[in-house]
Structure 1
Amino acid sequence: MIKQYLRPKSLDEALAFKAKYGDDAVYIAGGARLNAAPTQNEREVAVSLSALDLKGCEKTTRGWEIGALTTLQTLVDHPELPEGLREAAALVYSRNVRNQCTLGGEIAAGLPHCLIVPALLAMDARIEITEGFGNVKVQSVAEYQNGLITKIIVPAEVYACFNQKVSKSAADLPIVNASFVVHRSHEGVESYAVALSGSSLPVSMIPVETSVSAFLTNDISRQDLEKAVSNAVSCDSDFRASAEYKQEVSGVLVASMVEAYKVKGQ
């Protein structure tokens, strides 16, 4: 339960507050995850980031650089961002929640059912973190809990991104959430990445690039691709679905996205 609310006016002041109160303090942006079950915060000191200049989207030579306090709704509404990133943000059903959730907060929360992190993982997005950690991969953020995310960088090589989820209702946590990303170099060389998450499925990359490539070149069937993805997924049963169901659905979702890219003409 939060008993003390601090509102620093600068990044240095925010870091100083966190250093002072240590594990008793937590950074808070929109508060969508810290104030709601099942991720409600138990710490007593909240260090608000609302006054910090960590918002906005800018295209640079590195790709798209997005401030950590940029809301998911801002991503959805931004016409120039990669379409797949906007679609991933829109998977969060409620517009009210999207207006409250920040991109940095979604990453920092580290939830197994996060809807946008799989897309960022598959995009090979990087994160800038304070406290000397510098530039790290999205999946590495759990190792830097004392640092503060300031920026997310989506590489310029992202050519296409597809997202799909299965849930019991539009507003429910996803049983399985999948993202498929195509990276294309300046020379036209393509590489592929798949990431998954779910209600009890850790957000993770799935090593199926060889199978994806084989399907796109008609060397294997869609059924073979589905099987390869299902075999690569590690998950647990929970009250929403069995592990076997999640594995099967993962294969179907990924194969559907890869097929959509294939039909689109690559």
Structure 2
Amino acid sequence: MSSPMIPEQRQKELLRLLRTAGVLSIRDLTELMKVSHMTIRRDISNLEESGQVVAVQGGVRLAEHPGVEPPPERSSRAQLELPRKRAIAERAATLVEDGMVLFLDAGTTCESVVPFLAARRNITVVTNDYGTVAALFDYPEIETIHTGGVVDVESRSSSGPLAAATLASVNLDLCFLSTGTWDVPHGVTTPSTEKVVLKRAAMASASTSVLLADTTKFGTFERFNVVPLAKLDAVVTDSDLSETTGRALRDLGVDLHVAEL
């Protein structure tokens, strides 16, 4: 039986994998390297401090060489876990009915819902995400409202009190909430108080609130609480969710929708 790799060996192996793939999720790395999430995150932190990698939401990519313009953070995130995002988006779209007014939160998972709305009639999409607005340009039959608010260049979205005020003036049938971190003890969390204000305003305006989050983001939390999972009406995630976690969510009274990969 081989001995566990020391940190320097692990980090070299992590860099080798990234040179092949370009960008990898935390889950991919834990499975490929047979180590825990915490170990991978420590290695990423060390490599990021030395300027060799750049952490993106849910994963990591190689740092660019000097003189090469790095891709936008959102572009890097969009490459991560595409099958999961699409499967979750397609499953979430089945909850949308003709005539609904729905909110799509910022992020690539919620943006992925857009193509699956094409068959719906007389719907209105409210969003704080500029990428989602751009995607909706291809669907002129869908009425689109942007919330406005303070612009976050990195996520290409907006949030804060101005965006929340827009949401307070709209009656939403359905809120699709996104997150980069979620677990059972902490619920949905975020590193930004501006995003807390925006997400809570969307839920307050909605008859039904649904979290769209893949399993690579499960088991992590940020400094600010948005909402306990028990306060959500439903969660849409992928089929890599463990049976234990699935039971825990159902015990909270959450309607769990699992998208098969």
TM-score interval (norm. to shorter) = under 0.3
Higher helix share: 2
TM-score (norm: length of structure 2): 0.27
TM-score (norm: length of structure 1): 0.26
